[in-house]
Amino acid sequence: MLKKVESSQLKPGMYIHELSCDWLSHPFLRNRFLLSGDQEIRKILDAGIRIVVIDTGKGIDADAPTVAQSDAATEVEVQRIAAQPARPARVALGEELERAARVRRQASDLVKNVMADARLGRAIEVGQVQPVVRNITESILRNPGALVGLLRIKNKDDYTFLHSVSVCTLLVAFCHSRGMPADSVREAGMGALLHDTGKALVPDAILNKPGPLTDEEFAIIRRHPEDGYDILRRSPEVSQIALDIIRHHHERIDGTGYPDKLAGDGIGELAKMAAIVDVYDAITADRCYHKGMPAASALRKLHEWSKFHFDPRLVQAFMRCVGIYPVGTLVLLESGRLGVVVEPHESNLLAPKVNVFFHTKRNGYLRPELVDLSRGAGAGGADRIVSHESPERWNVDPGRFMAPG
């Protein structure tokens, strides 16, 4: 039986089935192992890992909820969060996709150039960043789902660059959803786009290692927030807001983050928001050493981790921003049809617009049909989401059906 336990409950003889954390918080060479002594438990605690899954069939038991019980409790909370309204898009997804694709290419190329300059010790051309952030912001204002959805698809070789573009895009959308001032959004976008500049100093063999990091490699990669800060603070065009995001996007509210082990209100609001966005994008992306999880699952993980690592209020606001079924999510409907979410509903996050394209009961493709789940029978609706699904389970590519029609 699989159970979710708090790390403080761990004892030698328990079998670790899953370390519930993002990969940069994971200093172990394997994911599943028998706890042999207190030293391993201390390593888990020191890494800031607060929740783990144990397998009681392979080790000793604990007084804790099963994974199914814990996930059910999380889902109740998620449904409560979904009852609060989102902001509507200004233009249709299909109308924005082509422009968003251009913005994606432009921003990715810029980050590549910045990282190359940083690696060679050249001055960073920060003046080129603001126009890109402005283009990202304008795309988000027209339809946030277009650029966010396109950035869900990352080439493994370009992950570092596209991750920076994703974090910028998501943070800009997050800021706008909270009604923050335009100048704050602009500076937050700059900090997010440049947040991983310090990774330019990490050897490629470590950055792209197809497996878990050793303790020494782990220490090297954890230096990147400080390295990025040191590189960019020399530029007068990079504001203190942006620098704070660059240095502190790996801090955690319980003080287990890095580099400064800040806690609670010692972490700036935008750095807290950037931390949420950074982890969300990291755990949803495919890497050479792990498969990304579906966006809907990642949001539920963030909600679980907000008990310790993130500001719960901000995690809930982020979930409302992207929707509990984010654009690009594959969902199973009560009718047995599969569809990809193309647009959240402005007041009901449980009833987005879905482009339906596959029937699970017939095991075959359908003519794509846009279904507005907020509408009743006879009005193109009369269906509801049963669950979010893995594309691999059904051997389908929801990205092909992002644009209705």
pLDDT digits (tens, 9 = 90+) for 154-173: 776 688 899 999 999 999 99
Rounded Cα gap, residues 373 and 354, in angstroms: 7
How large a percentage of the chain has pLDDT more than 90?
55
Q: What is the mean pLDDT of residues 1-13?
A: 92
pLDDT of residue 405: 57
Q: How confident is the model at residue 85 (pLDDT cuts 50, 70, 90)?
A: low
Q: What is the maximum alpha-carbon separation in the chain?
A: 63
Share of the chain above pLDDT 70, in %: 93
Confirm if 16 and 32 have CB atoms less than 8 A apart. Answer: yes
297 Cβ neighbours under 8 A, 6+ residues apart: 388
- Binned at pLDDT 50, 70 and 90, residue 50 comes out as confident
Q: Evaluate if residue 280 carries a pLDDT over 60.
A: yes
pLDDT in tens, 215-234: 898 899 999 999 999 999 98
Phi, psi of 366 (to 5 degrees): -115, 160
- Specify the pLDDT at position 208: 82
Average pLDDT over residues 246-268: 96
Q: How confident is the model at residue 44 (pLDDT cuts 50, 70, 90)?
A: confident
Per-residue pLDDT, averaged over 173-195, amounts to 94
Average pLDDT over residues 197-225: 89
Confidence of residue 18 (pLDDT cuts 50, 70, 90): confident
| Lowest-pLDDT range of 53-67, 191-205, 343-357 | 343-357
**Residue 318 pLDDT more than 90?**
yes
pLDDT, residue 72, reads 87
Cβ burial, residue 42 (10 Å; 0-12/13-18/19+)? exposed
pLDDT, position 27: 63
Whether pLDDT at 128 is above 80 = yes
**What does the pLDDT average to over 201-221?**
86
Tell me the CA end-to-end span of the chain in Å, nearest whole number.
Answer: 45
pTM score: 0.87
Instruction: Give yes or no for residue 19 having a pLDDT over 90.
Output: no
Q: If you ran DSSP here, which 8-state letter would residue 31 be given?
A: S
CATH of the domain spanning 93-322: 1.10.3210.10
Looking at residue 378, its pLDDT comes to: 44
Dist. CA 170–CA 172, nearest whole Å: 5
- Express each pLDDT in 135-153 by its tens digit: 999 999 888 888 888 887 7
Tell me the pLDDT of the chain averaged across its residues: 88
pLDDT band at 29 (very low <50, low <70, confident <90, very high): low
Q: Are the C-beta atoms of residues 273 and 176 closer than 8 Å to each other?
A: no
